[in-house]
Structure 1
Amino acid sequence: MTIIRRHGPRPIREDPGFVYVMTAEHGGVKIGMSADPTRRCKAVNRSKAIKAVVFQRHFADHQDAERLTHIALAKWRLSGEWYSCPVETAVAAVEALPA
Structure 2
Amino acid sequence: MSGYVYIIENEFGRVKIGSSIYPDDRIRMIETQSGSVTTKRFISDQREYYKETEKALHEKFASSRAVGEWFDVPFSTAVEAFHQEPQQYQRTNSKGSRSGMVTGIRLKLDKLLFDKRMSANQL
Global fold match (TM > 0.5): yes
Paired residues of 1:37 and 1:53 also in contact (CA < 8 A): no
1:54 to 10, 19, 41: 41
Q: Describe the superposition over 1:34-89 as per-residue Cα deviations: whole angstroms up to 9, x where unpaired.
A: 01111101111113313155111132111111100111111211111000100011
1:69 aligns with 2:57: yes
Q: Which amino acid aligns with 2:31?
A: N
Structure 2: distance between partners of 1:32 and 1:56: 10
2:72 to 76, 84, 87: 84
Q: Which has the higher helix share?
A: 2
Q: Describe the superposition over 1:2-48 as per-residue Cα deviations: whole angstroms up to 9, x where unpaired.
A: xxxxxxxxxxxxx3110100110111000000011111011111133
1:30 aligns with 2:16: yes
Aligned residues: 85
Q: Which has the higher strand share?
A: 1
Structure 2: distance between partners of 1:52 and 1:34: 19
**Structure 1: runs of 5 or more not aligned:** 1-14
Q: Which amino acid aligns with 1:56?
A: I
Q: Under a length normalisation based on structure 2, what TM-score does the superposition of the two structures give? A: 0.63
Q: Based on CA coordinates, which of the two structures has the bigger radius of gyration?
A: 2
Cα RMSD, aligned residues only:
1.6
**Structure 2: runs of 5 or more not aligned:** 91-123
Highest RCO, 1 vs 2 (Cα 8 Å, sep ≥ 6): 1
Q: Which amino acid aligns with 1:36?
A: Y
